[in-house]
């Protein structure tokens, strides 16, 4: 999972891209990069957080009214400066590109591009294969109408690139393009800013920076749609290939900021509804459960915990305080790093917990490390009983679309039932949201153009229809090899 920004404005855009990336930092803490264009490309990228990579002299060198930004955590390859985005190729025209997503046939395409298209992939980052497929296809059609050539190139990407992706790109002396995979799995939001000269456009993973940058939400880029904004501000768009619209449900559960509005659905409101639905299940299945206080596992589960407490008529309290200097442990590279970070991340407020039956609400239970640590904190603070609930169903299937959960064995629910999971994390009871209730919470309100989001990590139903056991096995073998490299490097980070 990553965060992307593409802007075409009326003046230099580097500072606005920087500010936008700050607003997307929750989507990736591994690396960040900015590319701009004014008759030549300017590029700065590096490892770490946005605020640590870019200095004043970098911003002064990033000139141009066309620009891309990216924050990354890796799902292909390992932690490496060479894999930081954006990437640039010189032909045709010159193209810079950044993406959010995952290409699960990366290795096959890397080999195919070299052997058949004579294009070398110099990194382990999957956007480089998207970029080179796009560039190869564009060169084949660039003698035609330019926008038609772009559409033909995107069509070539759809035919060859397997997975999920939202893409922003600059084409030298032509303009900005944005496109989304045919299933719309990864989000891509379009904002506009009116001016006396010409309308400025911004494409990004979330609309979190719109108010800060004075952009107004226009609409989402549709599944299978390509949008092109030329240097004169003229906009062209086309639905190149649309399949069944299945946006990722985990954006609403965990990844997106609560102030985001994705696919015409408020992330905050969807999380409130998740809490309502989970409360109804608790009342139905555990009517005699004695709960003194509801405590969220901060912070993505806080809205759900608030509405759950209200529905149950139980006191809501912030019994856990998060250390904001620690990043999101879910997306940290390496199991040892995640475990160590958890020790610093949360602190209990003992007066809110002691001698009480506590219902903890978390967005999900993934590996069980955070859940186990939270239960331990509750016990240490004097809780009489600790019930642990999840606004998401059990995670049991690998995500090949951009979540860093590649092997089934990593999930605590892979071969354990709820009673066994409760015992493993030390809780008195574990309660999961039902999948149909989670989906209902997302699609209940708004101008919703989808009814069945991608929930493959819960049920193994992959919407792209090209993932079988052989694909899963091959991916898991590669991911396990990557894990060994990451674990070996990661132990020195804390």
Q: Give the separation between CA 334 and CA 322, rounded to whole angstroms.
A: 21
Residue 484's pLDDT band (boundaries 50, 70, 90)? Answer: low
Nearest to 20 by CA among 213, 194, 221: 213
133 against 143, higher pLDDT: 133
The per-residue pLDDT for 111 is: 96
Q: Does domain 266-448 sit in CATH 3.40.50.970? A: no
The per-residue pLDDT for 343 is: 63
The per-residue pLDDT for 338 is: 52
**Prediction pTM value:** 0.92
The per-residue pLDDT for 141 is: 86
Kindly tell me if the per-residue pLDDT of 216 is higher than 50: yes
Under DSSP, the state recorded for 75 is S
Mean pLDDT to the nearest integer, 80-90: 92
Kindly tell me if the per-residue pLDDT of 54 is higher than 70: yes
Kindly tell me if the per-residue pLDDT of 235 is higher than 80: yes
Mean pLDDT to the nearest integer, 469-483: 81
Catalytic residue numbers?
Answer: 2
The per-residue pLDDT for 446 is: 81
Asked if 247 contacts 453 with a C-beta cutoff of 8 angstroms, the reply is yes
Kindly tell me if the per-residue pLDDT of 106 is higher than 80: yes
The per-residue pLDDT for 487 is: 60
Number of continuous H segments (helices) and E segments (strands) in the chain: 17, 22
**Tokens in use for 221?**
């880029």
Domain range annotation of the chain? 2-243, 266-448
Kindly tell me if the per-residue pLDDT of 334 is higher than 90: no
Kindly tell me if the per-residue pLDDT of 440 is higher than 50: yes
* pLDDT mean across residues, the chain: 92
Q: Give the separation between CA 325 and CA 314, rounded to whole angstroms.
A: 31
- The β-bridge relationship of strands 189-193 and 200-204 is antiparallel
Under DSSP, the state recorded for 476 is H
Q: Give the separation between CA 335 and CA 447, rounded to whole angstroms.
A: 40
Q: What angle do CA 60, 63, 64 make, to 5 degrees?
A: 155
Mean pLDDT to the nearest integer, 295-322: 96
CA 15 vs. chain centroid, Å, equals 23
Nearest to 4 by CA among 163, 199, 202, 182: 202
Residue 75's pLDDT band (boundaries 50, 70, 90)? Answer: low
Interval 156-202: pLDDT, tens: 999 999 999 999 999 999 999 999 999 999 999 999 999 888 999 99
Rounded to the nearest 10°, the torsion over CA 96, 101, 102, 103 is: -50
Mean pLDDT to the nearest integer, 196-219: 96
**Tokens in use for 171?**
């084409």
**Tokens in use for 82?**
């060479």
Residue percentage of the chain with pLDDT more than 90: 83
3-state secondary structure 307-366: HHHHHHCCEECCCEEECCCCCCHHHCCCHHHHHHHHHHHEEECHHHHCCCEEEEEECCCC
Residue 410's pLDDT band (boundaries 50, 70, 90)? Answer: confident
Q: Give the separation between CA 375 and CA 358, rounded to whole angstroms.
A: 10
Q: Give the separation between CA 456 and CA 163, rounded to whole angstroms.
A: 13
**Tokens in use for 112?**
């195919």
Nearest to 363 by CA among 408, 309, 422, 298: 298
Q: Give the separation between CA 16 and CA 67, rounded to whole angstroms.
A: 9
Residue 73's pLDDT band (boundaries 50, 70, 90)? Answer: confident
Q: Does domain 2-243 sit in CATH 3.60.20.10? A: yes
329 against 179, higher pLDDT: 179
Mean pLDDT to the nearest integer, 349-358: 98
Mean pLDDT to the nearest integer, 317-341: 66
Q: Give the separation between CA 30 and CA 245, rounded to whole angstroms.
A: 30
Q: DSSP E strands: which ranges in 91-224?
A: 95-103, 163-171, 175-180, 189-193, 200-204, 216-220
The per-residue pLDDT for 407 is: 77
Give the end-to-end CA distance of the chain in Å, rounded to a whole number.
Answer: 23
The per-residue pLDDT for 493 is: 30
Mean pLDDT to the nearest integer, 83-111: 95
Instruction: Give the dihedral sign, CA 110/115/117/120.
Output: positive
The per-residue pLDDT for 485 is: 62
The per-residue pLDDT for 139 is: 94
């Amino acid at each position: 999972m990553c965060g992307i920004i593409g802007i075409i404005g009326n003046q230099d855009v580097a500072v606005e891209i920087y500010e936008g990336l700050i607003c997307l930092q929750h989507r990736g803490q591994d690396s960040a990069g900015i590319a701009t264009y004014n008759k030549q490309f300017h590029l700065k990228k590096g490892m770490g957080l946005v605020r640590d990579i870019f200095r004043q002299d970098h911003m002064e060198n990033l000139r141009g009214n066309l620009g891309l930004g990216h924050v990354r955590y890796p799902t292909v390859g390992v932690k490496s400066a060479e894999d930081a985005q954006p990437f640039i190729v010189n032909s045709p025209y010159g193209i810079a590109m950044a993406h959010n997503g995952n290409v699960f046939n990366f290795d096959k395409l890397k080999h195919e591009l070299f052997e058949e298209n004579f294009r070398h992939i110099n990194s382990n980052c999957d956007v480089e294969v998207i970029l080179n497929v796009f560039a190869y296809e564009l060169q084949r059609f660039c003698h035609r109408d330019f926008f038609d050539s772009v559409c033909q190139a995107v069509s070539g990407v759809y035919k060859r690139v397997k997975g999920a992706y939202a893409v922003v790109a600059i084409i030298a002396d032509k303009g900005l393009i944005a496109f989304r995979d045919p299933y719309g799995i990864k989000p891509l939001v379009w904002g506009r800013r009116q001016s006396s000269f010409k309308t400025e456009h911004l494409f990004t993973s979330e609309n979190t920076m719109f108010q800060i940058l004075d952009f107004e939400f226009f609409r989402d880029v549709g599944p299978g749609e390509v949008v092109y904004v030329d240097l004169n501000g003229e906009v062209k768009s086309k639905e190149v290939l649309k399949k069944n619209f299945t946006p990722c449900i985990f954006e609403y559960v965990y990844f997106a900021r609560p102030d985001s509005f994705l696919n015409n659905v408020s992330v905050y409101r969807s999380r409130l509804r998740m809490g309502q639905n989970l409360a109804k299940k608790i009342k139905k299945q555990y009517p005699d459960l004695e709960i003194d206080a509801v405590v969220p596992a901060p912070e993505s589960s806080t809205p759900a915990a608030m509405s759950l407490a209200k529905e149950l008529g139980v006191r809501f309290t912030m019994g856990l305080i998060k250390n904001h200097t620690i990043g999101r442990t879910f997306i940290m590279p390496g199991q040892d790093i995640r475990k160590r970070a958890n020790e610093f991340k949360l602190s209990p407020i003992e007066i809110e917990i002691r001698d009480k039956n506590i219902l903890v609400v978390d967005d999900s239970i993934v590996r069980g490390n955070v859940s186990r640590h939270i239960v331990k904190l509750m016990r240490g603070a004097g809780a009489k009983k600790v019930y642990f609930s999840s606004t998401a169903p059990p995670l049991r299937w690998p995500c090949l679309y951009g979540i860093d959960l590649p092997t089934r064995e990593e999930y605590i629910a892979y071969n354990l039932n709820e009673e066994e999971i409760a015992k493993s994390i030390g809780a008195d009871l574990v309660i999961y949201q039902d999948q149909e209730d989670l989906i209902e919470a997302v699609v209940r309100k708004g101008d919703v153009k989808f009814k069945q989001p991608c929930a493959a990590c819960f049920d193994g139903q992959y919407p792209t229809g090209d993932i079988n056991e052989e694909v899963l096995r091959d991916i898991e073998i590669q991911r396990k090899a990557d894990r060994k490299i990451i674990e070996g490097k990661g132990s020195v980070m804390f």
